[in-house]
Structure 1
Amino acid sequence: WFWQVGLFSLLFLLIVALLTLPLDFYSSYMRPHSYGMSTQSLGRWFHHFLTGTGVSTVLGIILVWILYGMIRKSPKRWWLYFGLLTFPLTVFLVIIQPIWIAPLFNTFRPMEAIPLKEKILSLADRAGIHGSRIYVVDMSADTKAINAYVTGIGTSKRIVLWDTTIQGLDENEILFVMGHEMGHYVLNHMWWGLLVTTLLSLVTFFLVYLLAEGYLKRRPKRIGFDTLSDVASLPLILFLYTFVSVLISPLWNLYSQSKEHEADTFGLELTHLNHAAATGFVKLQYNNLGYPWPGEFYMLFRTGHPSIGARITFFNNYKPWCEDKPLKYGKDFTSSEELQ
């Protein structure tokens, strides 16, 4: 059983990777190059593709082993156990991703001792994030897009700046971006996100279970298997998982958009850099070829961030410190000192 499941999932995942290769090549290489967004060489793209396929295949096989082990032992409750597994599994990935996975694709180096680094560390101290480590990643080898993030748990915790961000934004714009990312960390958005992800996973796998069992009852043995414990059911389970995930994706996107707005609010209250926030996002829209006001359907099904237009409008208008109004997150700051 063990080797049968492993071999089947290996062959299936590799076949899927080969079938989707043309679309992956078009969407992540040809299209970005046609719009002048990509700086990635063909060889580098292919290396990333092989590396990503290898990592996802190894993780995928492990998950398939666990999935079918649960289905065999508990045919009616596997969805519950596998859904609950989402939490510890995601925590594990968050811990190892910045240390073991991300460096497979790009080079991370500690930020040099420049004035900007000291200002970021000072900002982090004020936000209550002490002992922070700041890394710069060489994303300019792949893209002209701009980004930054806080990642990791415990000893793997770090602030990461794309080198394109340092090249494309001025100092105050970078400080606001970092204030936003610190907001995610201080407000425990990662842990709340893990909880919501686990709940949505439970819903997703329960619906997959109901749909799959219902399908098998209506069409027994017509597709080569009559029970989900047969590894041949893997394509059916993955298809139903994708289908259900798309249907419930607005729930996650709406939740994520609310947390992004909270991080924007935190960043403004921490830095008071409204103008820099607005100009920084204008540059972000330009560099990333973003659309300022996408439609409702796109906002529901395609993005976990508020629209760039809405965010810039918010940046220009949210100034409670100028109106003698209390700050929403002021209690989270270790000092009332304004950073300019």
Structure 2
Amino acid sequence: MNPGFDVAAASRAYLDLLSGPARAASDAYFEGGYWLIGWNALVAVLVYGIVLATGWSARWRDWAERRTRRRWLVPAWYALPFGLVTSAMLLPWSIYTDFVREHQYGLSNQTFAAWAGDAAMLLAIGLIINAIVFVALFAALRRFARMWWIWGTLGTVAAMLVAVAVTPVFIAPLFNTYSELPAGPLRDRIVAVARAQGIPADHIYVSDASRQTKRISANVSGLGPTIRITLNDNLLNRTTPDEVVAVMGHEMGHYVLHHIWWLVAEFAAVVAALLFAASRIGPWLIRRNPRWGVRDLADPAATPVLLGLIAVGALVMEPVKNTIIRHNESAADAFGLDAARQPDAFAMTAIRLSEYRKLEPSPVEEALFFDHPSGATRIRMAMQWKKDHVPGATIVRPAKPAAGDGAR
């Protein structure tokens, strides 16, 4: 312990690094995201409402039924026009939120052509996944009637686990190139921390995320044989070696603390609540609107009803989701400080992340809208750790980070 170390003053030395126009831009970007949560739900409900009101959904079901004599395959055929048309309807909104807005705040490196290429790839993947999910979902709806939401939840859990396992190996490489981190002092430091925590470190990958974004990021992803350590090139190029190690300590915390399993279990409860609500409200909506041409909830044409209800439910559950993730992120922060022992580097990383996350929100804002601890919370945690664990700790007067600073 260092009774003379002032945690508040040490934290303020970092918090004051982000000020003036830079802080105003960060606050505006993140606060705008509060509204986007609501607008995303409203736009989704509007699109699904149009699909129902025009009778398109019923016509797509009829078309799918003509394509196959196998009833279980009808939802897969229905998924094709549903996915294509709704994606086209949502495209203007997607262009604004994912491309225009990111460029307005200087966070994207992509040309529109590159962004559109990635979006088209996501659509193609989504069409395949939707076909599989729709087949499973409507099989459960037909077979289990009022209790289908339980099987839907179990299916969602299975799908999440499969996604965690296969995404690093089969999906992520479709969008970025992954190469081994070159041998050298930085790799040696990461390997030493990983092995000290019992994490496989035979392969450490670097992704070329800078082709898309300016954000720094890293993760320990996968399950079983697909587990891998990955950091993006922005982290390498925009931060110091100490900061890289601090970030990797945090990411390793997710692995050691089994956060993948905890998140799957916790989100299963959220999914169960959403599907249960949809199972009770959906049939009532269908009975009240015969003009939609939807027979019942087990009809593939009911897809917009289910997704619209889930969109509204997800909006209501947003603070719950954020709290679940934020709790795990805070635990990983504490683990990372113990593992990497780089409190000042961790604090500086929090400043860099605050380029697009509001640095000092009110407690209510942080509770409702933050799925990670705020920069201020993380910096205070780092300085408290420094006071508790670094003999003779002194307050650092950090230099304001300049664009391009980083490890080489």
Q: What is the TM-score normalised by the length of structure 1?
A: 0.89
The one-letter amino acid of 2:359's match is: P
Query: SS at the partner of 2:298?
Result: coil
Corresponding position of 2:360 = 293
Q: Which of the numbers 48, 63, 84 marks the counterpart of 2:118?
A: 48
Query: SS at the partner of 1:112?
Result: coil
Q: Give the % identical residues.
A: 30
Corresponding position of 1:329 = none
The one-letter amino acid of 2:114's match is: R
> 1:154, CA displacement in angstroms?
1.3
> 1:291, CA displacement in angstroms?
1.3
Q: Which of the numbers 155, 171, 176 marks the counterpart of 1:101?
A: 171
Q: Which of the numbers 240, 249, 263 marks the counterpart of 2:332?
A: 263
CA gap 1:298/1:25 in 2 versus in 1, 3 angstroms:
farther
Structure 1 contact 135–158 (Cα < 8 Å) conserved:
yes
Greater Cα shift, 222-231 or 275-284: 222-231
Q: In the alignment, does 2:253 pair up with 1:183?
A: yes
Structure 1 contact 285–291 (Cα < 8 Å) conserved:
yes
Q: Which of the numbers 230, 234, 238 marks the counterpart of 1:160?
A: 230
Equivalent residues in 2 for 1:64-213, closer than 5 Å: 64-213=134-283
Q: Which of the numbers 364, 368, 374 marks the counterpart of 1:307?
A: 374
Query: SS at the partner of 1:257?
Result: helix
> 1:132, CA displacement in angstroms?
4.1
Greater Cα shift, 86-95 or 312-321: 312-321
Greater Cα shift, 122-131 or 60-69: 122-131
Greater Cα shift, 63-72 or 32-41: 32-41
The one-letter amino acid of 1:158's match is: R
Cα distance between partner residues in 2 of 1:214 and 1:60: 25
> 1:15, CA displacement in angstroms?
0.9
> Which runs of 5 or more residues in structure 2 are unaligned?
1-70, 392-408
Q: In the alignment, does 2:305 pair up with 1:236?
A: yes
Cα distance between partner residues in 2 of 1:87 and 1:4: 24
Give per-residue Cα distances to partners, 1:204-242, cap 9 Å, x unaligned.
11111011123334x162431241111111100100011
Greater Cα shift, 161-170 or 198-207: 198-207
Greater Cα shift, 158-167 or 20-29: 20-29
CA gap 1:28/1:169 in 2 versus in 1, 3 angstroms:
same
Structure 1 contact 246–301 (Cα < 8 Å) conserved:
no
The one-letter amino acid of 2:379's match is: I
Cα distance between partner residues in 2 of 1:131 and 1:174: 15
Q: Which of the numbers 330, 344, 362 marks the counterpart of 1:275?
A: 344
Query: SS at the partner of 2:146?
Result: coil
Corresponding position of 1:57 = 127
Cα distance between partner residues in 1 of 2:362 and 2:190: 35
> 1:296, CA displacement in angstroms?
5.3
CA gap 1:46/1:190 in 2 versus in 1, 3 angstroms:
same
The one-letter amino acid of 2:228's match is: R
Structure 1 contact 133–157 (Cα < 8 Å) conserved:
no
**Aligned-residue RMSD, C-alpha:** 1.7
Give per-residue Cα distances to partners, 1:236-278, cap 9 Å, x unaligned.
0100011112212222211211111111111111122111111
Q: Which of the numbers 10, 21, 26 marks the counterpart of 2:80?
A: 10
The one-letter amino acid of 1:225's match is: V
Cα distance between partner residues in 1 of 2:302 and 2:362: 37
> Which runs of 5 or more residues in structure 1 are unaligned?
324-340
Corresponding position of 1:321 = 389
Greater Rg over alpha carbons, structure: 2
Q: Which has the higher contact order (CA 8 A, sep 6+)?
A: 2
Give per-residue Cα distances to partners, 1:19-42, cap 9 Å, x unaligned.
111111122222222222211122
Structure 1 contact 136–160 (Cα < 8 Å) conserved:
yes
> 1:298, CA displacement in angstroms?
4.6
Structure 1 contact 95–156 (Cα < 8 Å) conserved:
yes
Aligned length: 320
Give per-residue Cα distances to partners, 1:173-213, cap 9 Å, x unaligned.
11010000001100111111111111221111111101112
Query: SS at the partner of 1:19?
Result: helix
Query: SS at the partner of 1:74?
Result: helix
> 1:292, CA displacement in angstroms?
0.6
Cα distance between partner residues in 2 of 1:50 and 1:279: 36
Greater Cα shift, 256-265 or 224-233: 224-233
Following TM superposition, where does structure 1 have runs of at least 4 consecutive aligned residues deviating by more than 4 angstroms? 295-298
Corresponding position of 1:251 = 320
Cα distance between partner residues in 2 of 1:294 and 1:44: 34
The one-letter amino acid of 2:381's match is: F
> 1:93, CA displacement in angstroms?
0.8
Cα distance between partner residues in 2 of 1:226 and 1:220: 10
Structure 1 contact 124–132 (Cα < 8 Å) conserved:
no
Give per-residue Cα distances to partners, 1:40-64, cap 9 Å, x unaligned.
1222111101001111121012111
Q: What is the TM-score normalised by the length of structure 2?
A: 0.75
Query: SS at the partner of 1:306?
Result: coil
CA gap 1:136/1:149 in 2 versus in 1, 3 angstroms:
same
